[in-house]
Each structure stands twice: as structure tokens, then as C-alpha cells.
Amino acid sequence: MKIGFVGLGAMGQAMVANLLAAGHPVQVWNRSPEPVREMTEQGATAAADLAEIFTCDVVLSALSDDDAVTRLLLDEDLLAGAPAGAVHVNTATISSELAARAHQRYAELGLRYVAAPVLGNSEVARAGNLTVLVAGEAEAITVVQPLIDVIGRRTWTIGDEPARANLLKIMVNYLIACSIGAMAEATTVTEAADLDPKLLIDIVSEHLFTGVVFPNYGRLIGAREYEPVAFKLALGHKDVNLALDSGQAHGVPLPLGGVLRDAFIDAMAHGQSEQHWVAVTEAVRRRAGLARE
């Protein structure tokens, strides 16, 4: 089975490294050359162009947003060169609408599309501990399951409609964003009252909100540490917008989402797009007159 991989950001590189370590031959393509060079040093093969990737039996991708997926993976000429029955596994967080459109277009061309958005940041990806939400044709999932088992520790099979997996992923990220926003506000009040924000996070992480989000993101918020960046603030803004779009599509108001979106816009307007998405905390602190100079 020929395996291609498109998109070598931090997440993509981690997934490719794990596939290579598991003995799978992988051909890679990326818009910028440096990540390709790094992956070839680990044993991957560089594709001459994107069209060569689409001659593979299975193509996995880890791109940033709807625009990148549409431009790079729904190109008619590229899809025309794919072998009959080829499977595309899209690990990106994209809109449900695009997932449905991609699924339909692939089916029309005799190709198979599997949505496999992942839960976890680049550190989790490097450890092979991603949680993968999979949806698509059952036979196609069976073909790619051994690869999914390499990049993740747990697979949730959502059904045969790829859009459903993406909707669930969007709502997961929305819940994380809401948690980040709540921690940002609570720690700012704590700080304004001359108490240690880290103490608040320690208390709730141990007794109320155990798990991943509060202990890990809360520690960064309490310490005002926004680097290194495992997930960019601009991507958090994108995901909040996807959640708002999903709510509108299903007739569900998301008033918290509107507040979050404005906070992310504030943070990006102050040059924080490339920081960790918990840096949205500074938008709250600015409103309180506590932000860094």
C-alpha cells in the first residue's frame, strides 16, 4: 500500500514520524521545503509534486483550515489522477459543510473520503496518543485503521457520514475554548484581588476539574506562559468561528461563542496570533487594566 502525506506542520510531522517508526513507507509533500527535508532525513520519500502524492493508495493530510483543504485536496486535476478506490484521510478540523462536500465529490469520482479529526496537540501527536474521531465508509475505515492505530491511542468511530466527525471535533474545541475563557476571567479576578492565580488553578485542578484541560491549560494561564506554542491562537479563533457557524446551521444560539470570538479578535489585534491560544487571557487582562506593557 502506497501512503502519501500532505501538510507537514507540527502535527503532520509528528504523525509521519510515528508512521515511519512503525515501518510504514511514507511519501510526503508540503508547501514549504524545510519540513520535507526533515522528514526525508527520518526515512520518508519526497514527492516531486502534489500530483505524485495523489497516485498513492492512501493519502493522509493535516492542513490548517477549509481554505487549504479546498485548494490543495479538492483540485479536480489532482483527483482525476488518483487510482480508483483510493482513500483520503483528512485529520484537519474543518467545517462540517466542507466535509460533506468533499465526501460527495470523492464518491462521484470513485474515491473514498474518511474524516479523522484528532484530539490532542503536537506533543500528544509525537507520543502517538491522539484520540481520533473517524467517520466514513466502513470498508475505507478498515483499510486505514492500521495507520490510525499508529497515530492515535483511541479511535471513536462516529458513523458513515464524515461531516458528523467534524461536527463533534468542532464542539470539543468549543468546550476547550469556553474553559480557557472561564479560566482567563477567573484568574484575572483573582489577580486583581492580589491573590495568586496559580493557586486558584491548583485548587480546581485537584478537586473539581481533573483531566487535561484545566491542569494543563490552567497552569499556562495561571503562570501567563504563552510559549512554546502547541496550538496557535489564530487556530483557536478559527475553531470558535466554526462552532458559531455550526450553531447557526442547526438553529442553536451560542452566546458564549460570540464573547469568545471577540476576545480572540482582540488578542489577534494585539499581535498574539502566533502565541498559544491560552494567550487570549491577555484580552481579559487588558479590559481589567492588568495586561502586560
* Secondary structure of residue 168 in the 3-state scheme: helix
Q: Examine the fold and report which residue of 123, 143, 160 is the final residue of a domain before the chain moves on.
A: 160
Domain count, the chain: 2
Mean pLDDT score across all residues of the chain: 96
At 17-70, the pLDDT tens digits run 999 999 999 999 999 999 999 999 999 999 999 999 999 999 999 999 999 999
Q: Domain for residue 293, yes or no?
A: no
Q: Examine the fold and report which residue of 137, 160, 183 is the final residue of a domain before the chain moves on.
A: 160
Residues 59 and 203 in one domain: no
Q: Which pLDDT band, with edges at 50, 70 and 90, does 292 fall under? A: low
Residues 155 and 209 in one domain: no
Residues 148 and 185 in one domain: no
169, 198, 232, 238: the active-site residue: 169
- As a whole number of angstroms, the distance between CA 198 and CA 168 comes to 31
Using CB atoms within 10 Å of the CB of residue 34, give its burial: 0 to 12 exposed, 13 to 18 middle, 19+ buried: exposed
Q: Which pLDDT band, with edges at 50, 70 and 90, does 207 fall under? A: confident
Q: Domain for residue 110, yes or no?
A: yes
DSSP state of 82: S
Q: Domain for residue 292, yes or no?
A: no
Residues 78 and 140 in one domain: yes
Q: Do residues 177 and 276 touch, judged by C-beta distance below 8 A?
A: no
pLDDT of 174 strictly over 90: yes
Residues 52 and 103 in one domain: yes
- As a whole number of angstroms, the distance between CA 268 and CA 195 comes to 28
Q: Do residues 3 and 19 touch, judged by C-beta distance below 8 A?
A: yes
Q: What is the pLDDT of residue 138?
A: 97
Q: Do residues 134 and 165 touch, judged by C-beta distance below 8 A?
A: yes
Q: Examine the fold and report which residue of 160, 175, 202 is the final residue of a domain before the chain moves on.
A: 160
Phi, then psi, of 136 in degrees rounded to 5: 155, -175
What CATH number does residue 45 fall under?
A: 3.40.50.720
Residues 213 and 266 in one domain: yes
Q: Domain for residue 28, yes or no?
A: yes
Q: Domain for residue 255, yes or no?
A: yes
Residues 205 and 227 in one domain: yes
Containing structural domain, residue 237 = 167-287
Q: Based on the residue annotation, tell me whether 232 is a catalytic residue of this protein.
A: no
